[in-house]
């Protein structure tokens, strides 16, 4: 007899043919784990699991006891179908809204209408459309239709101005929009926002606005004050910023760490009983969780926006799903790790050799049926694509010698460390066990790899400058040059006589405006980490990468600045300048493998076994 029992704290699935691969695959998709003592499959209750089990019962003749699956599925099936749609009729959602809001919604692209409908249906949604497809208008119009205020929008520091300007475009006239900025903000930056009709609060926000745009750098200091405004909605742009899954006990009153019976805050509150919260150790993640928790309790809207929500591994999603109030739909944190991150310990200071996720296609399916809407550039803009090229260059003999000396220093350090580990743990030199132990502490040695790659990057600056000058002489197009190390960014900008966007840039919008609209401004240098999100640089369809990042998602973000935009649709070319005979080539190959895992979770593609880039590189240097 095939039976679904929904009466217990966990749902039970039993069937006589226990080795039936088709049934096992479906039960695992629902989050099921085999319980050897009970001789049955145990499934944590969730709306997504109910959807999968309803299909299982109908297709394979299961008897259902202890509950009604039709009631439990709710709107999950419609969410799953909506997640792949490219258009949606918003007529029903627009009933009762003001004519101005209806007019704003009419300006949306078809796929953005789907995003709005999905976000409002799910209430707590991850909008994961690819870069350039308009996640910002999607979120803002959803807020306008819901008419739930006040709303808090947390963004990277460099995107505050961009979000404020977009809010004035996609929200009704008269909406009170405020930017919450650090007290040290230059006067000209604050005045520029005020001239655009945006209010400015320096330091502590005041309860006078409908929309508060807050940089993540200010979120920890303002989250408590903002929570007192009882926000009805909160939006986290580039939500991969709040990915850190490490947790700790904190004081429920002031949110300071509370390792003992008193918190470490200035008031030293007692934290016994209900004054103690198990939350995240990173201040930004903790503040985001605190702010979103109140919105979830009031059945408000919580949106996370990211084209790369799982930049490194599936566990990057844990904190984002928790902040959205959706982690329970996946059976909780431990169940998520067990099912989709086997071999990965998100709380470990060092990690095991196996860094890839498991059951990633299933995870993609569950995300779309629960809270994630994602469309790729190829889905929305067929024929628009990106070409990647590698340009191998030979270093000058003097630069080559300096590079090899730096490489030998890193290799010598790693060899000495390997001998030390072998002696401390009784491992044989050259064995797989020792190699795995060294890979596990790869993150501790990144500080030594950075200077090594920096030596090669600085040596490529003259060749990059020559490439850009030749490009400008031979074409009438614009180009964006990306680099990673701040010294390299500054050197490139100085040699090319152009502006740069990096960690030292305050408001990047004037630089972007000049590059986009001034025909005489044909080149800009951008830092991969500081300028790889939220910028629109579509005046260029050509990019030169002098350096690479540790994760392919960071590079994809940079590439997305120049192509695949619905409002300026064109293809693009990315040229990666690699120094022959250096680690540049090895890192490029590793990044290609690592890119496959991201697409497995986000897009449902088949993943290869992608190891951690830094660990692989250290492995090669041993």
Which residues sit opposite 213 in a β-bridge? Answer: 153, 179
DSSP run (H or E) holding 366: helix 360-370
Q: Tell me the CA end-to-end span of the chain in Å, nearest whole number.
A: 57
For 342, which DSSP code? Answer: T
pLDDT (0 to 100) of residue 610? 32
Q: In this structure, are residues 2 and 60 in contact, taking their beta carbons and an 8 Å threshold?
A: yes
Q: At what angle do helices 613-621 and 583-603 cross, to 10 degrees?
A: 150
pLDDT (0 to 100) of residue 47? 66
- Global pTM value: 0.65
What is the rounded CA–CA span in Å between residue 592 and residue 388?
11
pLDDT (0 to 100) of residue 442? 62
pLDDT (0 to 100) of residue 18? 73
pLDDT (0 to 100) of residue 389? 83
List the Cα angle 493/496/499 in 5-degree steps: 45
Question: What are the structure tokens assigned to 605, written together?
Answer: 């593609």
pLDDT (0 to 100) of residue 335? 83
The per-residue pLDDT for range 472-504, each reduced to its tens digit, is 987 888 999 999 988 999 999 999 999 999 877
Non-local (6+) Cβ contacts of 20 within 8 A are none
What is the rounded CA–CA span in Å between residue 304 and residue 153?
10
pLDDT (0 to 100) of residue 446? 64
Non-local (6+) Cβ contacts of 338 within 8 A are 33
74 φ/ψ angles, rounded to the nearest 5 degrees: 55, -130
What is the rounded CA–CA span in Å between residue 347 and residue 246?
5
Long-range contacts formed by 57-62: CB under 8 A, 24+ apart: 57/4, 60/2, 60/15, 60/23, 60/26, 61/2, 62/2, 62/3, 62/4, 62/13, 62/15
Helix, strand or coil for residue 194? helix
Q: Measuring CA to CA, which residue among 587, 561, 590 is closest to residue 574?
A: 561
What is the rounded CA–CA span in Å between residue 113 and residue 571?
24
pLDDT (0 to 100) of residue 348? 45
Residues with pLDDT less than 70, the chain: 47-48, 69-77, 244-247, 273-276, 278-281, 311-312, 343-357, 430, 438-447, 532, 564-567, 596-622
Alpha-carbon separation of residue 522 from 82, 300, 494, 530, 561 (angstroms): 41, 45, 15, 20, 15
Question: What are the structure tokens assigned to 219, written together?
Answer: 């979120």
């Amino acid at each position: 007899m095939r039976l679904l029992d929904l009466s217990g704290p966990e749902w039970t699935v039993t069937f006589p043919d226990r080795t039936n691969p088709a049934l096992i695959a479906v039960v695992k998709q629902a989050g099921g784990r085999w319980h050897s003592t009970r001789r049955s499959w145990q499934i944590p209750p969730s709306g997504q699991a109910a959807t999968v089990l309803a299909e299982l019962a109908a297709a394979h003749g299961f008897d259902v006891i202890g509950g009604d699956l039709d009631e439990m599925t709710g709107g999950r099936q419609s969410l799953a179908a909506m997640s792949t749609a490219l258009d949606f009729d918003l007529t029903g959602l627009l009933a009762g809204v003001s004519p101005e809001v209806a007019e704003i919604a009419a300006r949306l692209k078809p796929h953005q209408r789907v995003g709005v409908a999905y976000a409002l249906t799910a209430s707590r949604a991850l909008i994961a459309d690819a870069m350039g497809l308009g996640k910002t208008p999607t979120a803002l119009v959803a807020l306008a239709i819901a008419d739930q205020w006040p709303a808090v929008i947390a963004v990277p520091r460099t995107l505050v101005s961009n979000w404020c300007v977009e809010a004035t475009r996609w929200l009704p006239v008269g909406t009170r929009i405020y930017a919450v900025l650090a007290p040290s903000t230059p006067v000209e930056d604050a005045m520029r926002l005020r001239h655009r009709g945006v209010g400015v609060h320096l330091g502590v926000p005041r309860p006078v606005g409908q929309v508060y745009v807050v940089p993540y750098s200010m979120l920890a200091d303002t989250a408590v004050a903002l929570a007192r405004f009882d926000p009805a909605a909160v939006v986290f742009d580039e939500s991969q910023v709040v990915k850190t899954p490490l947790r700790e006990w904190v004081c429920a009153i002031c949110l300071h760490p509370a390792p003992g019976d008193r918190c470490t805050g200035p008031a030293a509150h007692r934290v016994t009983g209900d004054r103690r919260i198990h939350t995240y150790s990173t201040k930004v993640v903790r503040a985001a969780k605190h702010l979103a928790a109140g919105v979830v309790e009031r059945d408000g809207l919580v949106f996370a926006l990211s084209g790369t929500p799982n930049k490194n591994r599936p566990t990057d999603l844990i904190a984002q799903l928790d902040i959205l109030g959706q982690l329970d739909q996946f059976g909780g944190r431990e169940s998520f790790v067990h099912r989709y991150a086997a071999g990965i310990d998100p709380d470990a200071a060092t990690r095991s050799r196996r860094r890839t996720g498991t059951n990633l296609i299933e995870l993609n399916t569950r995300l779309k049926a629960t809270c994630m809407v994602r469309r790729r550039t190829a889905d929305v803009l067929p024929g628009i694509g990106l070409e990647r090229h590698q340009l191998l260059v030979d270093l000058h003999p003097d630069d080559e010698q300096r590079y090899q000396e730096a490489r030998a220093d890193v290799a010598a350090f790693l060899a000495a460390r390997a001998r030390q580990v072998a002696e401390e743990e009784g491992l044989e030199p050259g064995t797989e066990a020792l190699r795995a132990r060294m890979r596990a502490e790869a993150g501790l040695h990144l500080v030594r790899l950075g200077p090594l790659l920096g030596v090669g990057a600085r040596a490529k600056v003259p060749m990059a400058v020559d490439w850009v000058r030749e490009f400008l002489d031979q074409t009438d197009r614009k180009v964006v040059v990306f680099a990673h190390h701040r010294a390299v960014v500054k050197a490139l900008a100085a040699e090319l006589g152009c502006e740069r966007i990096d960690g030292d840039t305050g408001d990047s919008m004037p630089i972007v405006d000049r590059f986009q609209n001034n025909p005489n401004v044909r080149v800009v240098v951008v830092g991969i980490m500081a300028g790889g999100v939220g910028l629109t640089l579509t005046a260029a369809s050509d990019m030169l990468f002098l350096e690479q990042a540790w994760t392919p998602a960071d590079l994809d973000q940079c590439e997305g600045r120049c192509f695949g935009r619905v409002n300026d649709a064109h293809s693009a070319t990315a040229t990666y300048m690699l120094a022959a005979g250096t680690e540049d080539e090895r890192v490029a190959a590793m990044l290609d493998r690592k890119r496959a895992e991201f697409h497995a979770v986000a897009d449902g593609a088949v993943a290869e076994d992608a190891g951690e880039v830094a660990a692989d590189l250290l492995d090669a240097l041993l």
